[in-house]
Amino acid sequence: MIRPPSLVLALAALLSASLAGGPASAALPQGASAPALVTQGALAGRTFTFDLARALRQGPVVLYFFPKAFTQGCTLEANAFAEAMDAFRAAGAQVVGLSADDLATLRRFSTEECRDAFPVAIASPATIRAFDVPLVRDGQASGLATRTSYVIAPDGRIVMVHSDPDWREHVTRTLAAVRALQPG
């Protein structure tokens, strides 16, 4: 069977895009239960243990995964979340950034770029798989996480997912989802 050149080119482009260096588009769907998560993190340069189940007892949690501390997009995203922390607190939510960086790097990042306003924590390879956020480059998992934000309701249900390599919409979308959880 002979295919028209435009169809062949479209299929080739689709295959090329799926094998190229872009992030995986998979993420846990809205309505799914968030996986259990206990990890080490840093707030204002100090180490602590983050337990998602415990955090959810206090209200909704925004988990935002980012690829690498101190890179341009991740720094700008952390700055934007830091600037919005008063609004997240007023809406009763906690924000935690997660990346595959080591604890020493995250301690520095929590102070320098998160401006001591919210914590960042380690996303282990198991965490990256559990939340379905592996960054794929050239068809291979890179060990990093995609830029994906989840809003998790106190019952552990994911109420919003935003996966986009562009950092600019993550804060506004997660804040809107948190506010939608407020009664009245």
* Structural domain boundaries in the chain: 22-181
Per-residue pLDDT at 129: 95
pLDDT along the chain (184 residues), means of 10: 41 33 64 98 98 98 98 97 98 98 98 97 97 90 94 98 96 98 84
pTM (2 d.p.): 0.85
Greatest C-alpha distance within the chain: 64
Q: Which residues face 61 on adjacent strands?
A: 94, 152
Per-residue pLDDT at 139: 84
Per-residue pLDDT at 26: 66
Alpha helices in 20-153 (DSSP H): 52-56, 72-83, 85-90, 103-112, 125-130
- In terms of CATH architecture, what is 22-181? 3-Layer(aba) Sandwich (3.40)
Give yes or no for a contact between 119 and 53, defined as CB atoms under 8 angstroms apart: no
Per-residue pLDDT at 141: 85
